[in-house]
């Protein structure tokens, strides 16, 4: 399956103490932290193209634009959804949203870049 606009995926998480702003060092309140919300959006984007990239390829994060709009307390479920909106060469542009049982808690865009895994890792040496 080629990487084409329209690919989508979602991931769910029951918010635990380890997911809170307090635990992540991004605040002092016991609600899901923005870094965890971002990670969920990235996870959904990766899942959306899983199986569509050529062997030896992967995607890496390049840009995240996210508005974290509402708090979600420990014990509640959040669902992140990513939809591939545009493919620009190696750039994959996703719209993302995160909802809990009360509605939208975050929305934005994620850009990932397709790379050759081995060549990319060689740059870390």
Which CA distances in Å does 116 have to 58, 113, 119, 122?
Answer: 6, 10, 5, 10
What are the beta bridge partners of residue 98? Answer: 80, 106
Select which of 4, 14, 20, 34 is catalytic.
34
Catalytic residue among 4, 20, 58, 68: 68
Which residue is listed with tokens 């708090």?
71
Catalytic residue among 4, 14, 20, 42: 42
> Is residue 42 annotated as a catalytic residue, yes or no?
yes
Tokens of 12: 């769910």
Catalytic residues: 34, 42, 68
């Amino acid at each position: 399956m080629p990487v084409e606009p329209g690919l989508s995926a979602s991931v769910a998480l029951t918010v635990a103490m380890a997911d809170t702003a307090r635990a992540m060092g991004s605040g002092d309140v016991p609600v899901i932290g923005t870094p965890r919300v971002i990670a969920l959006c990235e996870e959904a984007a990766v899942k959306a193209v899983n199986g569509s990239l050529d062997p030896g390829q992967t995607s890496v994060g390049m840009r995240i634009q996210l508005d974290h709009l509402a708090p979600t307390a420990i014990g509640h479920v959040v669902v992140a959804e990513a939809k591939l909106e545009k493919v620009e060469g190696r750039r994959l542009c996703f719209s993302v949203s995160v909802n809990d049982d009360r509605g939208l808690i975050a929305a934005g865009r994620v850009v990932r870049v397709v790379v050759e895994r081995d060549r990319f890792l060689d740059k870390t040496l």
